[in-house]
Amino acid sequence: MSQTFTTCDICDANKQPSSEDVRVLPPVFRDFGQARKFFGQVVTVKCFEDNTLVKVAVESPGYTDTPHGRVPKVLVVDGGGSVRKALLGGNLGAAAQRNGWGGIVIDGCVRDSLELGVLDLGIRALAAMPMPTEKRNQGEQNVPVQIQGVWVRPGDWLYADEDGTLVMAQPWSV
Ligand SMILES: O=C([O-])CC(=O)C(=O)O
């Protein structure tokens, strides 16, 4: 359960189109953090132009301690693909790094790109957008979400590297 994976190796082992094991996200995400390679167990937030629950998530521990060691979590945010407001900025990104998150994937936008760019954290999103959200306490936590048409469920495993982003129900083991 370490960074010894590559997304290409995982796909080589799961080529059948009918395979439910591996779900590859469409290649529409840009990297905003320093880490281009990250993995972890999925926690989800579903929200629309309101990042109240993104803040709650990144301010909590981004890992699970197990008998086999510390396992990172990846926050997957279904922001409905909105490119009108940013769901994460420099402060929330810094909180995520401080709390040990493995990474964040947002079907939506981020802001404070320069601040995010120095964080040792995987951050993937559609685009940069300077306009912040309003915090109206709306959204859902840990529900199945569709990211760019692909189902991502809480407890799935997400693997991201220079070639793409994919999720699977079980952790990858070589
Ligand atoms: O708080 C927000 O809405 C996002 C933000 O600007 C930050 O994380 O610094």
ipTM: 0.94
Q: Residue 59 corresponds to which tokens in the numbers above?
A: 């301010």
Does ligand 1 come within 6 angstroms of the Cβ of 132?
yes
Q: Where are the domains of the chain?
A: 24-168
Architecture of domain 24-168 in this structure:
3-Layer(bba) Sandwich (3.50)
**Is there a contact between 113 and 93 (Cβ–Cβ < 8 Å)?**
no
Mean pLDDT score, 23-34:
97
Probe target for ligand 1 pocket from 48, 52, 58, 91, with the most ligand atoms within 8 Å of CB: 91
Does ligand 1 come within 6 angstroms of the Cβ of 108? no
What is the C-alpha to C-alpha distance for residues 165 and 26, in angstroms, rounded to an integer? 8
- Tell me the C-alpha distance between 23 and 21, whole Å: 7
- The pLDDT of residue 17: 64
pLDDT higher than 70, residue 18: no
Which atom, in ligand 1's list, is nearest to the CA of 51?
Answer: 3
The residues pairing with 44 across neighbouring beta strands, listed in sequence order, are: 76
**pLDDT tens track for 54-108:** 999 999 999 999 998 999 999 999 999 999 999 999 999 999 999 999 999 999 9
Query: Which tops the pLDDT comparison, 174 or 24?
Result: 24
pLDDT given for residue 174 in this prediction: 72
pLDDT at 2 over 90: no
Residue to mutate (ligand 1; options 111, 113, 119; most atoms within 8 A of CB): 111
CB 29 within 8 A of CB 126: yes
pLDDT for res 140:
98
Q: What is the pLDDT of residue 19?
A: 60
Q: Give the per-residue pLDDT at 149.
A: 96
Question: What single-letter DSSP state applies at residue 131?
Answer: P
pLDDT in tens, 120-157: 999 999 999 999 998 999 999 999 999 999 999 999 99
Confidence of residue 15 (pLDDT cuts 50, 70, 90): confident
